[in-house]
A and B are shown apart, each in its own frame.
Chain A
Amino acid sequence: MSSTMNTVGRPTAPNPVDHDYKHPTLTGGRGLLQDEKLIFELDGWDKTGVDLPEPSADGSDLGDLARAAPIGLPGLSEPEAMRHYVRLSQKNHAIDLALYPLGSCTMKHNPRLNEKMARIPGFSDIHPLQPQSTVQGALELMDQLAHWLKTLTGMPAVALSPKAGAHGELCGLMAIRAAHQAKGEHTQRRKVLVPTSAHGTNPATAAFVGYQVVEVAQTDDGRVDVADLAAKLGPDVAAIMVTNPNTCGLFERDILEISRLTHEAGAYFYCDGANFNAIVGRVRPGDLGVDAMHINLHKTFSTPHGGGGPGAGPVVLSEALAPFAPAPWVVDDGKGFKLVEFEEGEADQAFGRLCAFHGQMGMYVRALSYMMSHGSDGLRQVAEDAVLNANYIKARLSDVMSAAFPDGPCMHEALFDDEWLKGTEVTTLDFAKAMIDEGFHPMTMYFPLVVHGAMLIEPTETESKQELDRFIEALRALAGAAKAGDVERFKGAPFHAPLRRLDETRAARAPRLRWTVPEGSNRAAE
């Protein structure tokens, strides 16, 4: 018996460890992170994971609807199925794991209080076709949310039902078209002006509604070129679509002039509210002359993003556009809350409705929970901290990376270009991939399109100074490596991710969208 073991074989002292010794694993696993196949590729085709009683002798009521072919999934047991999906989820990145600096996305923490509120049975277990007298609380919540959104934006009306930012844009432009129609000007006003730095959804929405998109130039300091805008405005313009702060993370300082010129030309001012997080509680878009603006509840008001939950993009409307708001909306007639589905008279001019029911109730609950738990002072601080965090990043990285617009502060996102990478052979894409190896999700790359090799970082107010410092130190170290000629670190990155550099070209040219049963396999699990 070795002197370092006790009588039951347990080591009595730690092994001396050579921390530099590395070897590939025998199974392809990485520590306790296992490789995971597609569910169709898992074993289990000759068994079933559950034990159900035999069907009754009366036969099935399904008739022709009974499944004729096997379902095509392996017969996994509950722990096997659980493990499959948990392993897959471990390969994903999430805001609950770390900083998520995607610019223009506002990946902020979704407070668990929101989730608790959304799961109150009175909100989660109701049905949109229930009698209104049985869902008074839900209707009151919608009314309250509408009140907060109108107050924060300084706008008189809001359409809650749009289900995403782009859906909100569609709602806003349809209201604008309806307003021009009411004035008999819709045949002459065929153009929508969009700055070059806009989100891609802006021109796409305008084109979808049937407008001709005309680009407005940008000045050297990243703002809308007002002279170019003035030259393009005219009796043939229906609306302009401007994001403020814009996608370069800069406040449009000529915004009042922009809205004045727009209204003088008889057009409407659509504001893309994707970046509302930077000004919430500080600036009311209504005071800037905005006629319609969508609010991404999943950005500014912290409801989950993308796969984390459905989105919601309510649209606030000015006095001029309010009569054209789509149904439904909530009113309090003193005897209780009512959902107005149709109204004679003025509302007749509206374009109808955008979705079958009232929108994303779960998102309404989460957003109002976020608003009420922060209060008006807290929401103001959200904007202040989001802007402060972005400026901290910009200030601490500007000596090693090149800020796209170095003069003056930024708003909620810090934008760098790839000027500083010149001569290093490292591209923005390589740099972003190397960030994954260092444990950070990359920032938004190559957007906005008006900046060469753009790197757009939006930390949001979620992050503490400690976390920002960790992020900044990692980027500074990488920047140093790039400039020192350590090209391999970047060209081959990521080295430590579950999958290495992917062939994006092949994925786009020849995508495999359907899994097919391998030739000769005999798979028949039910």
Chain B
Amino acid sequence: MRFTKDHEWVRLEGDVAVVGITQYAADQLGDVVFVETPEVGKIVSPGDSFAVVESVKAASDVYAPVAGEVVEANTDLGSAPETVNSDPTGAGWFCKIKVADKAQVEALMDQASYDAFLATL
């Protein structure tokens, strides 16, 4: 699993990247009450705001960690946004992106670097 400084995680399954927000992000937001996932077919570039996550007190954009095409979105989050809090790196995934360049995923932080990054916050 790889991570961004905006607290998204990416897990590569073949040439498809599963994307979500990290435990740290979920804890910071507090109880998530609304998630807007991207539309299937949307072409994204790294840094594009492509989803929205809302908690009781804050709304936050979620940024595409890699370039590619959205091939699946986790529509279950619409009726069960609390999954983002209970299982952010599992059932709380946001969408799947067919990546254009796997090297972009490799270039992101690994667990150790992400943990080190969190320690600086």
Within 8 A of B (CB), among A186-218: none
Give the Cβ gap from B84 to chain A, nearest Cβ, in Å: 11
Q: Is the CB of B56 within 8 A of A504?
A: yes
- In the complex, chain B residues whose CB is within 8 Å of the CB of A509: 31, 33, 81-82
Q: Is the CB of B57 within 8 A of A505?
A: no
- In the complex, chain B residues whose CB is within 8 Å of the CB of A504: 31, 56
- In the complex, chain B residues whose CB is within 8 Å of the CB of A508: 31, 33-34, 54, 56
A504 and B82 alpha carbons, distance in the complex (Å): 13
Q: Which residue of B lies closest to A213 (CB)?
A: B49
- In the complex, chain A residues whose CB is within 8 Å of the CB of B82: 509
Within 8 A of B (CB), among A426-480: 446, 449
A505 and B31 alpha carbons, distance in the complex (Å): 6
Interface residue tally on B, bucketed by range: under 10
Give the Cβ gap from B30 to chain A, nearest Cβ, in Å: 8
Q: Is the interface of A mostly helix, strand, loop or mixed?
A: helix
Q: Is the CB of A505 within 8 A of B58?
A: no
Q: Which residue of A lies closest to B56 (CB)?
A: A504
**Contacts A505-B31, A509-B33 given; does A449 touch B58 at CB 8 Å:** yes
- In the complex, chain A residues whose CB is within 8 Å of the CB of B57: 446
- In the complex, chain B residues whose CB is within 8 Å of the CB of A505: 31, 33, 56
Q: When A and B form their complex, what is the total count of cross-chain residue pairs whose Cβ atoms lie within 8 Å?
A: 17
Give the Cβ gap from A386 to chain B, nearest Cβ, in Å: 27
- In the complex, chain A residues whose CB is within 8 Å of the CB of B34: 508
Give the Cβ gap from A185 to chain B, nearest Cβ, in Å: 25
Give the Cβ gap from B106 to chain A, nearest Cβ, in Å: 29
A374 and B33 alpha carbons, distance in the complex (Å): 46
B 92-110 to A, binary, CB cutoff 8 A, 1 in contact else 0: 0000000000000000000
A446 and B56 alpha carbons, distance in the complex (Å): 12
Within 8 A of B (CB), among A285-344: none
A505 and B54 alpha carbons, distance in the complex (Å): 11
Q: Which of A449, A504, A509 has the most CB of B within 10 A?
A: A509
Q: Which residue of A lies closest to B85 (CB)?
A: A505
- In the complex, chain A residues whose CB is within 8 Å of the CB of B31: 504-505, 508-509
A449 and B29 alpha carbons, distance in the complex (Å): 12
Q: Which residue of A lies closest to B58 (CB)?
A: A449
Give the Cβ gap from A298 to chain B, nearest Cβ, in Å: 25
A 486-509 to B, binary, CB cutoff 8 A, 1 in contact else 0: 000000000000000000110011
Give the Cβ gap from A418 to chain B, nearest Cβ, in Å: 13
Q: Which residue of B lies closest to A510 (CB)?
A: B33
A449 and B60 alpha carbons, distance in the complex (Å): 12
Give the Cβ gap from A194 to chain B, nearest Cβ, in Å: 14
Give the Cβ gap from A288 to chain B, nearest Cβ, in Å: 31
Q: Which residue of B lies closest to A509 (CB)?
A: B33
- In the complex, chain A residues whose CB is within 8 Å of the CB of B33: 505, 508-509
B 16-42 to A, binary, CB cutoff 8 A, 1 in contact else 0: 000000000000000101100000000
Give the Cβ gap from B82 to chain A, nearest Cβ, in Å: 7
A505 and B57 alpha carbons, distance in the complex (Å): 9
Give the Cβ gap from B61 to chain A, nearest Cβ, in Å: 10
Give the Cβ gap from A208 to chain B, nearest Cβ, in Å: 15
Taking Cβ atoms with an 8 Å cutoff, the residues of A that contact B are 446, 449, 504-505, 508-509
- 8 smallest CB-CB distances across A and B, nearest first, come from A508-B33, A505-B31, A504-B56, A509-B33, A508-B56, A446-B57, A505-B56, A505-B33
5 additional A-B residue pairs with CB within 8 Å, beyond A508-B34, A509-B31: A505-B31, A505-B33, A505-B56, A508-B33, A508-B54
